[in-house]
Amino acid sequence: MYKIEELSKIYVMGRVRVKALDAVSFLIPDGEMLGLAGRSGSGKSTLLKQIGLLDRPTSGRVFFGDREVTRLTEGKRAQLRLQYLGYVFQEYALLGELTAHQNVYLPGMMLGRKNIDYKQRAKELLGMVGLADRIRHYPKELSGGEQQRVAIARALINSPRLLLADEPCANLDTVSGKFVMETLFKLNRELKVTVIFVSHDPVDRQYGRRTIILSDGNISEDIYLT
């Protein structure tokens, strides 16, 4: 269970203050597949960064289970990011000089868990995202959709509890985008990983069990699909 409590973020740039999140509160049960929607500038990425421990709030708190994570030291937050969270961004952010396989297992190597064959796990994950025959390819030898699926496999290498995807299909054509969304959907079902994804394509809402719509840093709608 994740708890977002009265979360606010004000960006200050010189004399300009932007209230990107305005005392937002909600709960996310484990295993949820949650879509975040809303106009450009409504605070979606800001909210995802707060839940993903990539930035700190101006006020309010985020809980992972019983643990309040907003005020942990940077070292503890870095550890949680590596062990507990997976990220997929709009731009795939793969390392060009590494193969698909190496890109996927790198965060496993960084975590350095004993007794886990991360190279084997990376192969399995590439199989799960439909790229078993592409493991020796370099990013430039892959389509955008394939690169994004490598990025999803990489996000999963340390078995995160929570996967955050910020407009993962924004740079993809419709068919590749659909395949990426279906991949996230399948991972949510099969690996029971909690997924929060941002999309402004209403078609993607079908993949979530729930959609939260943000408007000027507030929740304007919280919709459950039945």
> Do the beta carbons of residue 164 and residue 48 sit within 8 Å?
yes
Least spacing, CB of residue 168 vs Mg ion, in Å: 12
Q: CA 37 to CA 75: how far, in whole Å?
A: 31
Stretch that binds Mg ion, among 41-49, 135-143, 151-159, 168-176 (CB under 5 A): 41-49
Q: What minimum distance in Å lies between the beta carbon of 158 and ligand ADP?
A: 26
| Interface segment toward Mg ion; rule CB under 5 A; list 12-20, 45-53, 69-77, 136-144 | 45-53
- Contact status: 45 vs Mg ion (CB under 5 A): yes
Task: Give least dist CB 215 to ligand ADP, A.
Answer: 10
In whole angstroms, the minimum distance from the beta carbon of 105 to Mg ion comes to: 29
- Give Cβ neighbours of residue 199 (< 8 Å, ≥ 6 apart): 35, 36, 37, 167, 168, 169, 181, 205
Listed in sequence order, the residues at least 6 apart from 23 whose beta carbon sits closer than 8 Å to its beta carbon are 6, 7, 8, 59, 60, 218
| 199 lines the binding site for Mg ion (CB under 5 A) | no
Question: From Mg ion, ligand ADP, none, which one binds at residue 226 (CB under 5 to 8 Å depending on kind)?
Answer: none
Q: Is 46 in the site for Mg ion (CB under 5 A)?
A: no
What is the spatial distance between Cα 134 and Cα 224, in angstroms, rounded to a whole number? 37
Count of CB atoms within 10 A of residue 120's CB? 10
Query: Measured from the CB atom, is 18 or 110 closer to Mg ion?
Result: 18
CB of 93 vs ligand ADP, minimal distance in Å: 17
CA distances from 39 to 19, 183, 199, 215, 222 (A): 15, 25, 10, 7, 15
By beta-carbon proximity to Mg ion, the closer residue of 45 and 194 is: 45
CB of 90 to ligand ADP, least distance (A): 10
* CB closer to ligand ADP out of 28 and 191: 28
Binding site for ligand ADP (CB under 6 A): 11, 13, 18, 20, 38, 40-46
What is the contact surface with Mg ion in residues (CB under 5 A)? 44-45
